Chains A and B, each alone.
Chain A
């Protein structure tokens, strides 16, 4: 049978946190980031899947509650639907909160869009002893309904078959009858040429969700809206919603075993984590535990890697004849790359813990706990999420600030993000803390992160008082249910991060190490260039007690902060290419107070190149990227100077 390959576009639409991205990953084999909270996916993602000779093109849209609201996510989804109508919509629903999830479905169906409905999270529903009759639902809606699970792929073939069967789909727009006055208003809008769904959307968004075509249309519509407002205390949005919920309750009455208005079950974890008195201490404890574990658990595999790198260096040193190439390999490459590779376990652990916070649902709780403090610096609780993500990497963290609507709050969140110590800085701390504060390394690590947060908050407080706010942003956030993190998505997440880290080691750190080694080894006679450069710039850093070696390492960190650790290893090259040797050499050359100051400088000074580029892109101007660089440099210098002087008195 000859057939040209057909290709169809399918858009995933649903409430935030209903499992769209999980399902998208199952459908396409992709590995997009998922998280147990609203607002993880801010832009749409696309992926392919071939099925029975047909090319499916899937689009994962940001989660939305309604097509009528005008927040970023909603606008992205609405524009997508109107500009590039997909062949079919896969409407993903959280089976635990069907009524609210169906509110969006009714909007799609009223608009007469082709829809297939996937009920996700049925496992959770069943665990609570409830059930939904999918056939009954399907009959009631006159749309195909299928059960799905974002965490397994057993039902994926059936889902793909169902999608295929439904292109094209027989469509009759859903008709819900509303309150008489509302119907009157809809009728008068329809008389001006609008479709029924457009009339409804225009009314429920009080004149925003749909662009009107003519002045005449606008006049009549506004008149109808005004009349509606004068007749009712409720806003049209409420009246429309009541109509829809009425329809939905009728539907669920027949198909769901659950009593409709039941309260969410409270969870024992909430009684601890959200407890008025325990909440904060538990939060700080958890963060401390996270960094302590990152250091202590990470040190075991780090030792193995260290031994392996030392062994390789030793073997190569023995077998190769004396030559410049041998020096390059042993002192430049193996020492530099190996010196950073050692920190892979720490970085992996840190990402593991951040993923754990995200996937379990604790992140949203943290946002709640932090809201009051955040409100003092012109932000709200949700802005805390990009900040914690910054502990991993500032680049995606700054991008996730897109979910913050109010321009000033967004700008502040972006500008303070580089002070959230990203995982690239971790190697420097682990190295220095291990050398100078071996007894309490975990606590020093925790203190660095806290200092970062403190600086971030202080800067935010100053910015909030200098930049005027455009409008108040309301802080309304849904707390997701606690979920046991899915092993698969945790593993994939950590795996990807480990891959990124190794990628960087193979790229920028490798090149950086070679470069540092070259500058260090030439000219063959006299003072090496690197040392000359170091001595030249060193006066700037001498108030903190840094030598030319530290100066050079800090300069090299402009590219990426992991390079700092690599540089230190290369410039302090000792006979042994292992950590112990480096630690001894550095410990001799640097006072503990300087070691602390070096950590502080690394924490605060300018963001890496990738972060600068991201700030430039997200704020749309070099001005803010420049501000960020300057701010970092100034704060780093004064901060480390202060720390050095205070610590010198103490130690």
Chain B
């Protein structure tokens, strides 16, 4: 599933980055990489954008970009 489908309180792990190359490069530079744990940190009023804890940082992503991040739920 993609990161947009992740609901609050769920924990997941990034399994792949898809989408256009410049976006991937940008995410990689920020340390958004395969294998990193991710969870939802905050949701704005209309549900877009949201912020996520990824690794040790809190990153704000619009749903369009978050849709390019494939994750897998962790129990």
Q: Which of B7-32 contact A (CB under 8 A)?
A: 16-17, 21-31
Interface residue? B4 (CB, 8 A): no
Q: Are the C-beta atoms of A371 and B30 separated by less than 8 Å? A: no
CB distance from A592 to the nearest CB of B (A): 36
Q: Are the C-beta atoms of A263 and B44 separated by less than 8 Å? A: no
Q: Which of A349-391 contact B (CB under 8 A)?
A: 364, 367-369, 371-372, 375, 380-381
Q: Are the C-beta atoms of A475 and B30 separated by less than 8 Å? A: no
Interface residue? A477 (CB, 8 A): yes
Closest to B38 in A: A263
Given contacts A235-B17, A375-B62, A476-B65, 12 further A-B contacts (CB under 8 A): A68-B25, A100-B30, A204-B25, A238-B33, A245-B31, A262-B56, A264-B53, A274-B42, A364-B60, A369-B45, A372-B44, A476-B26
Which of B25, B51, B62 contacts A479 (CB under 8 A)? B51
Q: Which of B26-75 contact A (CB under 8 A)?
A: 26-31, 33-34, 36-37, 39, 41-46, 48-49, 51, 53, 55-62, 64-65
Q: Are the C-beta atoms of A65 and B29 separated by less than 8 Å? A: yes
Residues of B within 8 A of A443 (CB): none
CB distance from A126 to the nearest CB of B (A): 16
Q: Are the C-beta atoms of B25 and A206 separated by less than 8 Å? A: yes
A474-B59 in contact given A238-B28, A242-B34 (Cβ < 8 Å) = no
Interface residue? A175 (CB, 8 A): no
Closest to A205 in B: B25
Residues of A within 8 A of B59 (CB): 476-479
Q: Are the C-beta atoms of A263 and B25 separated by less than 8 Å? A: no
Closest to A278 in B: B45
Cα of A169 to Cα of B3 in the assembled complex, Å: 45
Residues of B within 8 A of A477 (CB): 59-60
Closest to A380 in B: B62
A474-B25 in contact given A99-B55, A479-B51 (Cβ < 8 Å) = no
Residues of B within 8 A of A369 (CB): 44-45
Q: Are the C-beta atoms of B49 and A245 separated by less than 8 Å? A: no
Q: Are the C-beta atoms of B55 and A100 separated by less than 8 Å? A: yes
Interface residue? A276 (CB, 8 A): yes
A479-B58 in contact given A238-B34, A280-B45 (Cβ < 8 Å) = yes
Q: Are the C-beta atoms of A474 and B26 separated by less than 8 Å? A: yes
Q: Are the C-beta atoms of A368 and B42 separated by less than 8 Å? A: yes
Q: Are the C-beta atoms of B41 and A261 separated by less than 8 Å? A: no
Q: Are the C-beta atoms of B24 and A235 separated by less than 8 Å? A: yes
Q: Are the C-beta atoms of B58 and A478 separated by less than 8 Å? A: yes
Q: Are the C-beta atoms of B56 and A97 separated by less than 8 Å? A: yes
Q: Are the C-beta atoms of A100 and B57 separated by less than 8 Å? A: yes
Interface residue? A83 (CB, 8 A): no
Cα of A74 to Cα of B31 in the assembled complex, Å: 16
Closest to B68 in A: A474
Most buried by A among B25, B28, B45: B28
Cα of A242 to Cα of B27 in the assembled complex, Å: 13
0 or 1 for each of A261-285: is its CB under 8 Å from B? (1 = yes): 1111010001000111101100000
Which of A97, A103, A237, A263 contacts B24 (CB under 8 A)? A237
Cα of A65 to Cα of B30 in the assembled complex, Å: 6
A264-B31 in contact given A238-B24, A381-B49 (Cβ < 8 Å) = no
